[in-house]
């Protein structure tokens, strides 16, 4: 297998994820798009690690494990924030959450 099969798939997922972040206006859907990006990162890490021999393969996997762990923490925190906003405002629409115009 070519390493580029995996890398280009990662690039597709990354680009789709960026599209989702920019185009979605629902907080939960934006978060899902970010998960697509993180999966692209992990594919890259594992595929590129495998290219580097045994120690690289292990390093890539360990890095990917840390990414997954922290993604879980991020999603937990994110849903707490979304829930908080929903309770105060009954909406998670990002365009409505704009009292202070940046």
- The CA-atom distances, in angstroms, between 97 and each of 14, 18, 26, 30 are 26, 21, 10, 14
Contact 28/41 with Cβ under 8 angstroms? Answer: no
**Rounded Cα distance, 8 and 5, in Å:** 6
Q: Least distance to other proteins from the beta carbon of 90, Å?
A: 8
Q: Least distance to other proteins from the beta carbon of 96, Å?
A: 10
Q: Least distance to other proteins from the beta carbon of 68, Å?
A: 5
């Amino acid at each position: 297998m070519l390493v580029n099969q995996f890398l280009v798939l990662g690039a597709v997922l990354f680009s789709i994820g960026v599209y989702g972040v920019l185009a979605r206006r629902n907080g939960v859907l934006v978060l899902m798009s970010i998960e697509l990006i993180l999966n692209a990162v992990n594919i890259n890490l594992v595929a590129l690690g495998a290219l580097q021999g045994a120690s690289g393969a292990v390093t890539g996997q360990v890095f990917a494990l840390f990414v997954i762990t922290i993604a879980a923490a991020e999603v937990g925190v994110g849903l707490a924030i979304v829930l908080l906003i929903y309770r105060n405002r009954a909406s998670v629409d990002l365009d409505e959450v704009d009292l202070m115009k940046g």
